Structure 1
C-alpha cells in the first residue's frame, strides 16, 4: 500500500497526536477520517483481489497436471505475497515433484507449512494482524476506556449493491503471458 504526500502528512499529524494527546481541530478529524476511509477501501480491495487470486489458484490446481506450469508460477507469486500453503497445495505439489521446479516449490511449501504450524502451536500471533482505526481523538484529560471487542462481520445474503466494484476477471488482472521471441540470427558477412 502506498500513501500520497497529503496522506502521509495526515498520518504524521495523527501519530503526533497519538503520542501527545490534545483535542483535535475539526479539520484534522476530517482529514483522519478521510485517510481511514482510504485505508479501509484499500483493505477491502486487497481482500477482493486476494479472494480472486485464491479462486484462480484453486482453478489451476483442479486442472492439474495440464496446468502445471501456470499453477507453479501462480503459487510462487502467492507465496511471495504471504500465502500460507494449504494441504491441497501440498498434495498437488507431491504429484508434480518429478519436475525440478515442482520439487523446489514443494520443499518451500513444506517449510512454510511447518513454520506456520509451529507458530500456531506456540501461540504466536498471526504474521499479519489487522490494524483498527479509531475515529476522532482523545484528549489527555479524558479517562481511558477499555477497547470494545470488534463486531463479527455478518455474512452477506443480499446481492452486491450497484456501487460496489465487481471482482475483476482473470484476463483483467493477469494479461496473457507471451513467450519471448528469440533474437534474430545474424549472418556473418564474408
Structure 2
C-alpha cells in the first residue's frame, strides 16, 4: 500500500469551525489549539469561523467549505456532547458521502488515558464529502490537542505509511484558477 503515501510533505488547506454559544474568536482556545497544530505542521489555514450551536448554521458554513475548491479539510470543534445544545453530529452526518467510522472509535480509545470512561460521552466523528475531510471534535483544547497529535497529524501527512487521507482529498492543482489568475 506504499502507493498511498508520498515521499514529500504536501501542505493542505484546512478550515477551522468552532461551534459555540459562549465563545468568540478571541476566547476560542480550542480553535486556537487546532490552528497552532496545523500551522506548526506546515499546513495552511484556509478559513476560520465560529457559529452558534445550531444545525442550520453549522450546515451552512460547512456546505460552503465543502463546495469551496480550495478547502481540503474542515476541523470542527464543539457541539459533540450530549446536552440539548450539542448538535454538531446531527448537522454534519447527513452531509458526508462516506463516514470514517474508525475516527470516533480511535479518538475515544486515545482519550481513555486522559479522561477515563468519560470518553464514551464523546460523539467525535469524521467523514469525506466532495473530496473534503470533515472531522468533528469535542470543544475542549485538550481534546483538540489529543485528536491533532495522536490522529490528525499523521493522517494529514502524505508521508504517513502505509496510508493517509491525502490521496482522497481535493487536488488544488486540478482546480481552475480564479478570474485574476490566482487561488485564494
TM-score by length of 1: 0.24
**For the pair shown, which has the larger CA radius of gyration, 1 or 2?**
1
Structure whose residues are more often strand by fraction:
2
Structure whose residues are more often helix by fraction:
1
